[in-house]
């Protein structure tokens, strides 16, 4: 049985598109079934991507709710009504309440544009450039109440190049996001990820070989 997933978005949905390409209705024998794409912004371009792919969409405008907890209760009801067993945050720009996160513990993942635990929060690419790191990247992790924490499922590293600005680095990281998010979700759907304490352990997967150097050793 495919894992039934709700994808939550707030914007353009580029990571949503990567998930659609990997697991959308056109994919035969997919281990993942996207049962709803839900946005807190009625004008989110990602909703068009979902509709074009033939996916169910729903809108819950957070501005219509007096309190964050009320929004989260409605969000939880919408997700469960769609039959979702798992939640994927794909550019969802809302801080979720502790109760919502607890209800979906180890059943909700996020992608962050940095190699956690480094550069939690916003402006990750600017901060990476200012710090002078030579490797940057992205992280897929289970969600916990403290922002940008939780068991790490997968990471992708990209080099920081001498002529990089924020836009160039962000573009390179985003391409890595589009590869790693479907990979992480597939591993979960196939039952290859288990949580031990606050560590995500990947079963039955070969370890990568080699070392990424920047600058390269000539």
| Residues taking part in catalysis | 112
Phi, psi angles (nearest 5°) of residue 48:
-65, -40
Give the C-alpha separation, 26 to 54, whole Å: 9
How far apart are the C-alpha atoms of 177 and 155, rounded to whole Å?
9
Cα 204 to its chain centre, rounded Å, is 23
- CA distances to 62, 108, 155, 156, 212 from 208, rounded to whole Å, are 42, 26, 12, 12, 11
């Amino acid at each position: 049985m495919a894992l039934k997933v709700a994808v939550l978005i707030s914007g353009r949905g580029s990571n949503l598109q990567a998930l659609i390409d990997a697991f959308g209705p056109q994919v035969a024998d997919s281990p993942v079934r996207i049962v709803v794409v839900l946005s807190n912004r009625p004008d989110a371009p990602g909703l068009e991507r979902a509709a074009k792919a033939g996916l169910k969409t729903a809108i819950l405008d957070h501005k219509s709710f007096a309190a964050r907890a009320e929004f989260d209760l409605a969000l939880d009801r919408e997700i469960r009504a769609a039959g979702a067993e798992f939640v994927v945050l794909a550019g969802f720009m809302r801080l979720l309440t502790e109760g919502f996160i607890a209800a979906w513990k180890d059943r909700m993942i996020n992608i962050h544009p940095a190699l956690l635990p480094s550069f939690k929060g916003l402006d990750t690419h600017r901060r990476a450039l200012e710090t002078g790191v030579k490797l940057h990247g992205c992280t897929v992790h289970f969600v916990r109440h403290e922002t940008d924490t939780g068991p790490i499922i997968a990471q992708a590293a990209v080099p920081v190049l001498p002529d990089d600005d924020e836009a160039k680095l962000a573009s390179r990281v985003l391409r890595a996001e589009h590869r790693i998010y479907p990979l992480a979700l597939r591993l979960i759907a196939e039952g290859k990820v288990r949580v031990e304490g606050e560590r995500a352990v990947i079963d039955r997967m070969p370890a990568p070989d080699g070392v990424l150097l920047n600058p390269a050793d000539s």
